[in-house]
Amino acid sequence: MNCLQNLPRSSVSPLLGGFGGNHRDPSWSSLKMMLPFKANDPKCRLVLEAVSDSAEMSGVSKKEEEKSDEYSQDMTQAMGAVLTYRHELGMNYNFLRPDLIVGSCLQTPEDVDKLRKIGVKTIFCLQQDPDLEYFGVDIKSIQAYAKTFTDIEHIRCEIRDFDAFDLRMRLPAVLSTLYKAVKRNGGVTYVHCTAGMGRAPAVALTYMFWVQGYKLMDAHKILMSKRTCFPKLDAIRNATIDILTGLKKKYVTLTLKDKGFSTVEISGLDIGWGQRIPLTLDKGTGFWSLKRELPEGQFEYKYIIDGEWRHNELEPFTGPNKDGHTNNYAKVVYDPTSVDGTTRERLTKEDPELLEDERSKLIQFLETSSEAEV
């Protein structure tokens, strides 16, 4: 089963080419300057060494170790926390509940056997093709092997790696598919991405929050006590609000006065810091501009002018972050005094708690979403 949501995708290439090669993107030196964290800050040092009881380190090549090092560096820079993944050590996972596991990706068809032995009935994969290609995972052989059994189902629902906005937009469709699979298959569910530190924990948290009756931060506390990871909580909060209030969008236009620039691009906004969108120059007005449709929320961004990262002082901007850098931001807000406005304000708090009728509405959404929507 494949559940690619029918949402418009950016024409810009995925972050770092989706890890399609073992090269470094030159934009990372600038990206480090934009991210609101320091990699050596002990408050955000989250390190996970993947461990597999079946891994044989004697057969690990230098190239495999280098790929893990490269991925860990990229993950640390993109996620805002120091995270380490060792793909060469094999699949690793943690039980959050007796019926819910979060882990790293399956690497061989034999991993299906390992999961069947611990009662897994649904393998829920969130990886995209570039993720699989980077580590050389043959997903087709894993899917084909899983199909030889009647007691386990492999489902793939793609979410872009390291992209909080894509996570927000995909969560409703992905959770609908997961909810239906759990109802259909029962037993234990294995949710995984590549390292099991971003997308998979976020999806599992959302399932606990929407379906299993947990408060968001209670579920988060359980997750962090079991597995070192860094799920994007704001994406979960916003996805929850999008369902309960309706996904409202507005067009936002960014403009920058031309001063003889050759190129002007934007990074951040709804595409993440690892991607860029070019602005268009209107020679008649002398302004570079970009029109973008955004859902409710606040979106930070920065201009890249002839290769140099800058903010525009004529647009709203944040105060300097801990690294001393300033970003512009666009804030999309509908009537804050409306019922939907008060709901959004309540659910964007650090520890939102769903009302009984809100949880019922979420469950109804998960049950009634059609296959065309997921």
Tokens 């399956």 -> residue: 106
371 part of a folded domain: no
* Residue 254, both tokens: 């960014």
Predicted confidence band of residue 323 (pLDDT cuts 50, 70, 90)? low
Predicted confidence at residue 337, as pLDDT, reads 73
Q: What's the number of domains the chain is made of?
A: 2
For residues 136 and 155, the answer to whether their CB atoms sit within 8 Å is no
Q: Is residue 78 part of a domain?
A: yes
Q: Please give the pLDDT value at position 45.
A: 37
pLDDT digits (tens, 9 = 90+) for 40-90: 343 333 433 334 444 444 456 888 999 999 999 989 877 778 899 999 999
Q: Which of 264, 201, 239 is nearest to 352 (CA)?
A: 239
Q: What's the average model confidence in pLDDT over 313-332?
A: 86
Same domain, 233 and 298: no
Q: In degrees rounded to 5, what are phi and psi of residue 309?
A: -80, 125
Alpha-carbon gap, residue 55 to 110, rounded angstroms: 12
- Write the burial class of residue 25 (CB in 10 Å: 0-12 exposed, 13-18 middle, 19+ buried): middle
In this structure, the answer to whether residues 172 and 71 fall within a common structural domain is yes
Same domain for 158 and 83: yes
Among residues 140, 59, 60, 130, the alpha carbon closest in space to that of 106 is found at 140
Token readout for 152 is 């386990």
Using the predicted structure, report yes or no on whether residue 97 has a pLDDT greater than 90: yes
Least confident of 130-144, 181-195, 218-232, 326-340: 326-340
Question: What is the per-residue pLDDT across 233-246, written as a single tens digit (0 to 9) for each?
Answer: 999 999 999 999 98
Last residue of a domain, one of 242, 263, 286: 242
Question: Are 97 and 180 in a shared domain?
Answer: yes
Check residue 202 and give its pLDDT. Answer: 98
Q: What average pLDDT does this structure show over 138-142?
A: 98
User: Is 160 found in the same domain as 264?
Assistant: no
Q: Are residues 202 and 328 in the same domain?
A: no
Of 242, 261, 276, the residue that ends a domain is: 242
% of residues, the chain, pLDDT over 90: 66
Per residue in 149-163, pLDDT (tens digit) is: 999 999 999 999 988
The CATH number that applies at residue 267 is 2.60.40.10
**Active site residue ranges:** 193
In a domain, 354, yes or no: no
- Claim: this prediction has a pTM higher than 0.85: no
How far is Cα 57 from Cα 65, in angstroms, rounded to an integer? 10
Residue 70 and residue 217 share a domain: yes
CATH number at residue 182: 3.90.190.10
Edge to edge, the sheet with strand 287-295 lists: 249-257, 287-295, 280-282
Query: Which helix or strand (DSSP H or E) is residue 288 part of?
Result: strand 287-295
Predicted local distance difference test score (pLDDT) of residue 78: 76
Q: Are residues 173 and 157 in the same domain?
A: yes
Q: Are residues 84 and 226 in the same domain?
A: yes
pLDDT given for residue 5 in this prediction: 40
Do residues 269 and 235 both lie within one domain? no
Please tell me the least confidently modeled range out of 5-9, 151-155, 240-244, 303-307: 5-9
Token pair listed for 222: 């359980």
Which residue range forms the structural domain that includes residue 260?
Answer: 249-332
How confident is residue 192, by pLDDT bands cut at 50, 70 and 90?
very high
My answer on whether 213 and 253 are in the same domain is: no
Q: Kind and range of the H or E element at 300?
A: strand 297-305
Which tokens is 86 given?
């060792």
Structure confidence by residue, pLDDT tens digits, 272-287 = 787 899 999 999 999 9
